[in-house]
Amino acid sequence: MGKKAAASTNKNKEKRQARKLEQRRIADGMSYVTSANKLTDLASLCKELMIYRNNDLEVDMYIQKVGELEKNVLQWAIDLTERNMKKLYETCAWGWNKERKVEEMTDDNAWYLIAKSKSGSLLAFSHFRFDMDFGEPVLYCYEVQVEAEGRRRGLGQRVLNVLERLARATRMRYVRLTALTHNPAASAFFRACGYSLDETSPPKEEAAHYEILSKATDGEPAGDHCSLSDGMRAVHVAAAES
């Protein structure tokens, strides 16, 4: 075989190997997502984070699939989302469509983290899902919503800490989320908690009203403190470990 022909054969071989590896990486990711969605006791993966105390605030958290949530808890989550987000949605290209939001929040794959004070009041929740996103297994945070009286007491940060721990334990590569760019409180919050612009975020000229933020799961173990320096970017998690 001539030199040129040999080089071309090698290149083709490399391409085939790269394609195989990519297929394997995606298949692994899908199997992690399937396994995560089959778990019945997610809270056991982050037990010590499920109780939160800050001065006079004492909060218990629990995690359930949407179908297991009590009806009044789901209704409260929908109402809180409307109270917190309606105006923000109305002032951007998306607009507020309650029916569509309820449909999203009641999707069979929706998981809920609920935070309740010791006295019984519902204070915060997150709707999240394990999913493939742009070919990668991610924990997608659809909502993090805190009641006005529960804010600036570290509760939102703790909710994210729980999601980060779950993502790591289930081999998701990122906690990823969509944030409205005209919601400065949320932007400051997510960035203070180590989230940064994700590579899948659309260019500003295409979509100025929202951005995709993420935090990789391969950094330091999720602690209790926000860290401005912890906005780690993508590095390969061992999808091919197995």
Ligand X SMILES: CC(C)(COP(=O)(O)OP(=O)(O)OC[C@H]1O[C@@H](n2cnc3c(N)ncnc32)[C@H](O)[C@@H]1OP(=O)(O)O)[C@@H](O)C(=O)NCCC(=O)NCCS
Residue 57: other Cβ atoms inside 10 A: 15
The site map against ligand X for 67-86 (x = CB under 6 A) is -----------------x--
Residues 85 and 101: their CA atoms lie apart, in Å, by 11
Pick from 117, 161, 170, 183: which binds ligand X (CB under 6 A)? 183
Residue 210, φ and ψ in degrees, nearest 5: -145, 160
Question: Of residues 27, 51, 188, 208, which one binds ligand X by CB under 6 A?
Answer: 188
The residue number with the shortest CB distance to ligand X is 156
Question: Of 68 and 149, which has the nearer Cβ to ligand X?
Answer: 149
Contact stretch for ligand X (CB under 6 A) within 45-53, 94-102, 163-171, 179-187: 179-187
Q: How far is the CB of 232 from ligand X (least distance, A)?
A: 18
| DSSP element (H, E) containing 82 | helix 71-90
H or E element that contains 35: helix 3-38
Place of tokens 């602690």: 223
From candidates 26, 57, 78, 226, binder to ligand X by CB under 6 A: 226
- Three-state SS annotation for 160-184: HHHHHHHHHHCCCCEEEEEEECCCH
Point out which residues bind ligand X (CB under 6 A). 84, 143-146, 151-157, 179, 183, 185-186, 188-189, 192, 226
